[in-house]
């Protein structure tokens, strides 16, 4: 598959495959070398070469896994994540057309059309996520897994007065920086899914390193017991 519109990397060896490796992490979140190799049909030596080059170019970085999913002996495999620099190069090149389209919609028909699009997108997220959450007792963890599957690389952090839902990647960050209605509608959808008012503390679209949403303790506990 040919990847078009991506950034140009310093290394010249097989750039299309390397673009595909970076795009896979951008869309699926932090991944191990083994997972990437299986996902893209690359040999262990091949995926390692591309990961080394992407890391050297500052597109990716290797991190220790947040929670080890390995069993038995040995250290857990490191995961590779997109750096802020890498995210910026990819997202800006892929999202310029979307920004231009929304600007045209706004200029021709008014802000209400952009808001309507944002609401339509949020409704779609809510509809899909509600099916997943209905089968789980821990709604926050289930929501984080759903968002990860959608490319947001989400996790849940316990806090003294509640939980924080962290989205380590935002597929629409560049567009949302121009049109905050997308973030606002998405936050309202998360609130409805969890059955409580949630508060966005930070967003990638506004220049933060992660999208962080605070969820109060009382509702979280009620949802777990349900």
- Per-residue pLDDT at 185: 96
The 10 Å CB-count burial string (b at 16+, else e) for 200-215 is bebbbbeeeebbbbbb
Count of residues in the chain: 226
pTM of the model: 0.60
Mean per-residue pLDDT over the chain, rounded: 82
* Calculated CA dihedral for residues 14, 85, 170, 15, nearest 10 degrees: -10
CATH tag for 15-82 (out of 3.90.550.10, 1.10.20.10, 3.30.540.10, 1.10.10.10): 1.10.10.10
Domain ranges across the chain: 15-82, 92-225
Decide: 18 and 58 in contact? Cβ < 8 Å: no
Q: Which residue has the higher pLDDT, 137 or 2?
A: 137
Q: What is the pLDDT of residues 42-55, one digit of tens each?
A: 999 999 999 999 99
Q: Cα separations (Å) of 9 from 56, 157, 163?
A: 10, 34, 38
pLDDT at 77: 80
As a whole number of angstroms, the distance between CA 134 and CA 127 comes to: 11
Residue 219 has pLDDT above 60, yes or no: no
92-225 carries CATH number 3.30.1380: yes
Write out pLDDT tens, residues 12-47. 457 788 888 988 887 777 889 999 999 999 999 999
Question: What's the mean pLDDT in 119-138?
Answer: 94
Residues 149-202 pLDDT 10s = 888 889 999 988 899 999 988 888 878 888 999 999 999 999 999 999 999 999
């Amino acid at each position: 598959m040919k990847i078009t519109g991506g950034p140009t990397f310093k290394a010249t060896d097989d750039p299309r495959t390397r673009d595909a490796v970076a795009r896979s992490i951008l869309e699926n979140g932090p991944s191990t070398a083994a997972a990437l190799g299986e996902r893209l049909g690359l040999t262990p030596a091949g995926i390692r070469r591309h990961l080394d080059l992407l890391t050297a170019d500052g597109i990716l970085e290797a991190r220790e896994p947040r929670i080890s999913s390995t069993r038995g002996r040995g250290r857990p495999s490191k995961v590779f994540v997109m750096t802020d620099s890498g995210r910026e190069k990819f997202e800006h090149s892929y999202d310029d057309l979307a920004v231009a389209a929304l600007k045209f919609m706004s200029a021709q028909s008014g802000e209400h059309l952009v808001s309507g699009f944002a609401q339509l997108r949020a409704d779609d997220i809510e509809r899909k996520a509600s099916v997943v959450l209905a089968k789980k007792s821990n709604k926050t963890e289930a929501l984080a897994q759903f968002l990860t599957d959608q490319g947001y690389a989400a996790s849940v952090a316990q806090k003294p007065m509640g939980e924080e839902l962290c989205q380590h990647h935002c597929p629409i960050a560049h567009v949302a920086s121009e049109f905050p209605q997308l973030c606002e509608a998405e936050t309202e959808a998360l609130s409805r899914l969890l059955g409580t008012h949630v508060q966005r503390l930070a967003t990638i679209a506004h220049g933060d390193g992660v999208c962080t949403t605070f969820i109060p303790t009382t509702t979280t506990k009620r949802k777990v017991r349900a």
